[in-house]
A and B are shown apart, each in its own frame.
Chain A
């Protein structure tokens, strides 16, 4: 059972944050897929914040993104992963972002490398697609993931996040020289 469902949060009412907690320590990697919309009403874009274990330090990331007109590359916050590509409530109605966060070796005592790819659509020139490389400089295992946003103050009903565990196969008796 290489890829296994862990937990899912789907909002039936607006909520300030989405949290996936009590993540078991039985997998190799984690994969989170999310479909989100914020209540920001003055622009089509919001910025997704991702934190591990409730900790607000040790984050870094590089991003390449496009907005339908031009591409940009920048670096991120240190207090969380900040990822462009979250539908806000000024974007086309009922449209939610589509993103994926992959955490390699989430139980390791090393720093945690992550990859984040996400998009949001909008019936206009402006819509966003981005690829991200991130690092959480912390030796703790990832035991929880918290999603919030920069501009709005709640995710809208229908927003969802689904977490999976990936288990690597055995090495079959390999000897490393």
Chain B
């Protein structure tokens, strides 16, 4: 059964706004050590309740080796804890991260064109009465290092989310790495 998709039907009227909006996006055109989204509270707290980051990433670590990436909140480099449930192709594992200066999850390296992917959800991103808890669904496919993971992480601070910094644990991101920040509303 074939389902042809035409141009999204619009009838000429302006579509009513939804609750899920692209806020910012970065696609690297060259090598870059980190990518940041900044001034988030002043820009988005009034209109959005939750945040989501969708990304594909690759770094410049030696080919066919596993790699990782990390995130930091509000420029803070201490007080983090993160945990991981993952499948690596033969067993399921569960563990607690040893690093406390960042939240680590999977990126990718390996052959040209091979990017890992992640979806990061942060609920109540700007609320003053709760710590930020990230839920991260990630995957990478590198020969010998295939991984699918569900990661949780926090830095146990009630500060509003004002910046998110992403970096590679073993090098720099390469061209084509893309990080997109979305806001999710909680009003009609």
Task: Mark interface residues in A52-69 (1 if CB within 8 Å of B CB, else 0).
Answer: 000000000000111111
Which B residues touch A157, using CB under 8 A? 129
Q: Are B85 and A66 in contact (CB under 8 A)?
A: yes
Which B residues touch A127, using CB under 8 A? 81, 83, 96, 152
CB contact list, A125-177 vs B, under 8 A: 125, 127-131, 157-158, 160, 162, 164, 169-172, 174-177
Q: Are B1 and A35 in contact (CB under 8 A)?
A: no
Cross-interface CB contact of A170 among B9, B81, B123, B151, cutoff 8 Å: B9
Q: How far is the CB of B122 from chain A (nearest CB, A)?
A: 8
Does A2 sit at the interface, judged by CB under 8 A? yes
> Are A96 and B83 CB-contacts (below 8 A) given A119-B150, A125-B96, A162-B186?
no
> Are A68 and B185 CB-contacts (below 8 A) given A92-B156, A94-B129?
no
Docked Cα-Cα span, A44 to B158, in Å, equals: 19
> Are A119 and B133 CB-contacts (below 8 A) given A1-B15, A95-B154, A98-B121?
yes
Stretch of B26-34, B87-95, B106-114 with 4 or more beta carbons under 8 angstroms from chain A: B87-95
Does A29 sit at the interface, judged by CB under 8 A? no
Stretch of B16-24, B56-64, B65-73, B171-179 with 4 or more beta carbons under 8 angstroms from chain A: B16-24
Q: Are A5 and B123 in contact (CB under 8 A)?
A: no
Q: How many residues of B contact A (CB 8 A)?
A: 50
Task: Mark interface residues in A77-94 (1 if CB within 8 Å of B CB, else 0).
Answer: 000000000000000111
Chain A residue at minimum C-beta to C-beta distance from B137: A117
Chain A residue at minimum C-beta to C-beta distance from B157: A94
Chain A residue at minimum C-beta to C-beta distance from B50: A33
Does A122 sit at the interface, judged by CB under 8 A? yes
Docked Cα-Cα span, A66 to B186, in Å, equals: 30
Q: How far is the CB of A37 from chain B (nearest CB, A)?
A: 8
Chain B residue at minimum C-beta to C-beta distance from A73: B92
Chain B residue at minimum C-beta to C-beta distance from A171: B3
Cross-interface CB contact of B186 among A5, A172, A174, cutoff 8 Å: A5
Which A residues touch B96, using CB under 8 A? 68-69, 124-125, 127
Does A43 sit at the interface, judged by CB under 8 A? no
Q: Are B124 and A129 in contact (CB under 8 A)?
A: no
Cross-interface CB contact of B18 among A3, A169, A174, cutoff 8 Å: A3
Docked Cα-Cα span, A72 to B87, in Å, equals: 13
Task: Mark interface residues in B94-118 (1 if CB within 8 Å of A CB, else 0).
Answer: 1110000000000000000000000
Q: Are B18 and A71 in contact (CB under 8 A)?
A: no
Q: How far is the CB of B180 from chain A (nearest CB, A)?
A: 16
Docked Cα-Cα span, A33 to B184, in Å, equals: 11
Q: Are B156 and A95 in contact (CB under 8 A)?
A: yes
Which B residues touch A66, using CB under 8 A? 83-85, 92-95, 150
Listed A/B pairs (13) with beta-carbon separation below 8 Å: A1-B17, A5-B185, A5-B186, A8-B186, A35-B133, A68-B94, A94-B156, A96-B131, A97-B133, A98-B134, A131-B85, A162-B50, A162-B186
The 7 closest A-B pairs by CB, nearest first: A66-B94, A119-B152, A66-B85, A121-B154, A129-B85, A127-B83, A98-B135
Residues in chain A within 8 A of chain B (CB atoms): 1-5, 8, 33-35, 37, 64-71, 92-100, 117-125, 127-131, 157-158, 160, 162, 164, 169-172, 174-177
